[in-house]
Amino acid sequence: MEKLRIGLIGCGVISDIYLKTCQKFEILEVVACASLDIAESRAKAAQYGIAKYYTPEEIFSDPEIDCVLNLTIPAVHAKVSIAALEAGKHVYSEKPFVTDLADGAKILALAKEKGLCVGNAPDTFLGGRWQTCQKLIEEGVIGAPTGAAAFVGTHGVERHHPNPDFYYQPGGGPLLDLGPYYLTAMIALMGPVKRVCGFSRKTFDTRMIESQPRHGEIMPVDVDTHVSGMLEFCSGAIGSITASFDIWDSETPRLEIYGEKGTLCIPDPDPVHGANNFDGEVWYRTRETSRWSYQPRVQGLENWQVAENTHGYNENSRGLGLVDLAYAVRGSRPVRASGEMAQHVCEIMTGILESPKSGEFWVLNSSCATPAALPEDFPNSEA
């Protein structure tokens, strides 16, 4: 199958895992990379054997590039994606898709007009853990989903990220940063959402960078850093999400899905294997194995059944959504980590953050198709 030639814009922290994933799949060839800092682009090109290092503008004008991989910071995602589409290139972007819903609508309309594909992170829902959840739901193990609860509580990124400023500026914050993993997984498993509401707050006006090399610098915080939202799915199921940069620790599972016949649980409060990753176990309980309310609470695995995971991609495989997009382009089929789903997620997040200002529910304008399950032998069956 003809390769999809990729031009990367944004050679920062997350680019390494993408470049490693790209090297594993024959359908992808990264032909050029760019960032604001030409020295950073040159170093990345040398490290991964990429033929050309560029300024961002040169990526758009290179006719050898079929698709732009947009790994810039949230505030410039839309600008880069629009420029890529205007230059006639497919685009796959990091999350959040956009920080302004009008930009998202423009990106989707432009892609449609030009016959180009738009894909977007997160692609973690294509990982083994999530595909196992999809299989269990499709097999009816928990019956029809009736509810879901997502939780991601951290104390921010300033202890590990070298340049954490953008996480505390518009376009950042815990919901826009971490919410897409949980909301995308919920939509992929339970379908689109009808309306949302929420509450949010900012706990600290400034935060100190604790990572190197900028240890001790004080950053302003211009976004809310503790957010809770409620969701009503089109199916009638009800969901909740809490995303926070103000929580030191928690024992709450990362995601649970409640069904008419049982419960699916994404356990482990360990942030390394949290639900914003590809790997980890799936637990479930049904009527036969559930606890009576007066039974003592038992921590851990007791009574939970661990689902057999028969799917691939149980390690960090960020970029798998781009691989899927490449096969979608070549095979003229829908993209799984689609721009439409990313826009729907962005509208849900916008609604959660806006509803407390108006005191009203946010009724969703956008919707999306539920992505098909990833074949167990992906990508072999695509060839």
Ligand X SMILES: NC(=O)c1ccc[n+]([C@@H]2O[C@H](COP(=O)([O-])OP(=O)(O)OC[C@H]3O[C@@H](n4cnc5c(N)ncnc54)[C@H](O)[C@@H]3O)[C@@H](O)[C@H]2O)c1
Residues within the interface to ligand X (CB under 6 A) = 9-14, 35-37, 40, 56, 71-74, 76, 94-95, 161, 163, 177
187 vs 309: CA distance, rounded Å: 21
Tracing tokens 């997009």 back to the chain, one arrives at: 325
Pick 40 or 232: Cβ nearer ligand X = 40
- In angstroms, give the least distance from the CB of 185 to ligand X: 15
Strand 193-201 relative to strand 226-233: parallel, antiparallel, unpaired? antiparallel
85-112: b (≥16 Cβ within 10 Å) or e: bebebbbbbbbbbbbebebbebbbebbe
Pick 25 or 167: Cβ nearer ligand X = 167
Would you say 225 and 202 are in contact if contact means Cβ atoms under 8 Å apart?
yes
Residue 256 DSSP SS3? strand
Pick 176 or 307: Cβ nearer ligand X = 176
- In angstroms, give the least distance from the CB of 234 to ligand X: 28
Pick 188 or 197: Cβ nearer ligand X = 188
CA 51, 56, 62, 68 torsion: positive or negative?
A: positive
**Distances in Å between the alpha carbon of 81 and those of 21, 40, 105?**
21, 21, 12
Pick 9 or 337: Cβ nearer ligand X = 9
- Of 13, 94, 95, 7, residue with least CA distance to 52: 7
Beta partners for residue 257, in sequence order:
148, 264
- In angstroms, give the least distance from the CB of 117 to ligand X: 20
- In angstroms, give the least distance from the CB of 38 to ligand X: 10
- In angstroms, give the least distance from the CB of 167 to ligand X: 8
- In angstroms, give the least distance from the CB of 271 to ligand X: 11
Which residue has the CB atom at the shortest distance from ligand X? Answer: 12
Pick 92 or 233: Cβ nearer ligand X = 92
CA 163, 166, 169, 173 torsion: positive or negative?
A: negative
- 377 burial level (CB within 10 Å; 0-12, 13-18, 19+): exposed
In 221-318, the DSSP E strands lie at 226-233, 238-244, 255-259, 262-266, 283-286, 305-306
- In angstroms, give the least distance from the CB of 50 to ligand X: 14
- Sequence-distant (≥ 6) Cβ neighbours of residue 252 within 8 angstroms: 151, 153, 269
Pick 66 or 94: Cβ nearer ligand X = 94
Pick 163 or 235: Cβ nearer ligand X = 163
- In angstroms, give the least distance from the CB of 1 to ligand X: 28
Pick 93 or 200: Cβ nearer ligand X = 93
- In angstroms, give the least distance from the CB of 171 to ligand X: 8
